[in-house]
């Protein structure tokens, strides 16, 4: 399975396939910065189906052609050896190659979804349950609520409900109502549909606007090439490339600048 970053990569690979009498099935997804949310949802839905198809038809090479300048963790050519490896790259803020170019060191290999039982979709769900949920979402909820002296509770994580959900076949968890098909069917019995079908409100904050606005002086100070060179932790040219792309409107670069800025603030205080 291959994820290609550009039409040229796709044409080259399919040209080689045709020349060697090999079939080439293409799943093409074209997105732009403003459709990243839609793309993420679509990719999460399609990925298990594509992987299942690939496993059932080992003679067919699947090319996912992704055209997106913003989502660099996906919009590059990835030779994924498994569904877990492809999923890991999808949820990563930076590809391993980019981390190595930035720091000079290869990032440690974390546990992949492949270690879990079940179909690729079930494996990804279990990985989320054991990693993303406690390490990201619940961490943010806990920090935010405790900072405001609020005791946060997550009723949907009652162990009996979680055990029941995990026991269900993956196929029945999705339906006409989307990834929360069963939950919505239950809610419709007790809550007005208008409340259930409201737009999702996640943890997103206007990072790009902050970095180009009020935080711009801090970015210039902490990511100054001379400071980055003095520290010797990151490639100063690559860091400056992120900053330039940030001011050019690149959403992916904004995420990288945000991560670097957070690290620099931590480094200044504790190192």
Contact at 8 Å (CB) between 69 and 33? yes
Comparing C-alpha atoms, which of 20, 119, 10 is closest to residue 62? 10
From 148, 165, 85, select the one nearest 120 (Cα to Cα): 85
Asked if the model's pLDDT at residue 189 lies above 60, the reply is yes
Domain ranges within the chain, ordered by starting residue: 2-103, 116-171, 174-203, 207-270
**Residues 247 and 208: beta-carbon distance below 8 Å:** no
Confidence check: pLDDT of 246 > 50: yes
What is the pTM (predicted TM-score) of this model? 0.66
What CA–CA distance (Å, rounded) separates 153 from 138? 10
CA-derived radius of gyration, the chain: 21
pLDDT at 176: 79
Q: 150-153: long-range contacts at Cβ-Cβ below 8 A with a sequence spacing of 24 or more?
A: none
CA–CA separation, 264 vs 271, rounded Å?
A: 10
What is the rounded average pLDDT of the residues 244-255? 92
Q: What is the pLDDT of residues 76-88, one digit of tens each?
A: 434 566 778 878 8
CA 24 centroid distance within chain: 26
Q: Rounded mean pLDDT of the chain?
A: 76
Given a cut of 90, is residue 40 above it in pLDDT?
no
Pick the most confident of 51-60, 95-104, 139-148, 235-244. Answer: 235-244
Cβ atoms of residues 113 and 84 within 8 Å? yes
Max avg pLDDT among 89-103, 134-148, 193-207: 134-148
Contact between 225 and 239 under an 8 Å Cβ cutoff? The reply is yes
Q: Which of 226, 228, 213 is nearest to 260 (CA)?
A: 228
User: Looking at the predicted structure, is the pLDDT value of residue 211 above 80?
Assistant: yes
Q: Read off the pLDDT of residues 43-79 as tens digits, 9 standing for 90 and up.
A: 555 555 655 555 555 444 444 433 333 334 444 434 5
Mean pLDDT of the 213-237 span? 96
């Amino acid at each position: 399975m291959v994820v290609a970053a550009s039409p040229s990569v796709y044409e080259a690979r399919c040209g080689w396939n045709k020349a060697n009498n090999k079939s080439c099935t293409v799943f093409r997804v074209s997105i732009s910065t403003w459709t990243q949310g839609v793309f993420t949802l679509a990719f999460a839905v399609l990925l298990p189906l594509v992987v299942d198809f690939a496993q059932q038809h080992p003679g067919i090479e699947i090319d996912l052609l992704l055209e997106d300048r913003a989502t660099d963790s996906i919009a590059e050519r990835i030779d994924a050896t498994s569904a877990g490896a492809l999923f890991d790259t999808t949820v990563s803020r930076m590809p391993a190659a980019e981390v190595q170019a930035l720091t000079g060191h290869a990032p440690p290999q974390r546990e992949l979804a492949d270690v879990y039982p079940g179909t690729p979709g079930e494996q990804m769900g279990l990985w989320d349950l054991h990693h993303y949920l406690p390490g990201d979402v619940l961490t943010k909820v806990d920090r935010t609520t405790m900072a405001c002296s609020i005791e946060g509770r997550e009723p949907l994580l009652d162990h009996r409900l979680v055990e029941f959900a995990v026991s269900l076949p993956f196929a029945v968890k999705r339906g006409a109502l989307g990834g929360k098909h069963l939950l919505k069917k239950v809610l419709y019995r007790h809550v007005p549909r208008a409340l259930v079908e409201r737009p999702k409100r996640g943890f997103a904050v206007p990072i790009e606007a902050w970095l180009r606005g009020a935080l711009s002086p801090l970015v210039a100070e902490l990511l100054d090439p001379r400071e980055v060179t003095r520290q010797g932790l990151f490639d100063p040219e690559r860091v400056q490339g992120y900053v330039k792309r940030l001011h050019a409107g690149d959403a992916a670069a904004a995420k990288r600048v945000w991560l670097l800025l957070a690290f620099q603030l931590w480094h200044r205080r504790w190192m």
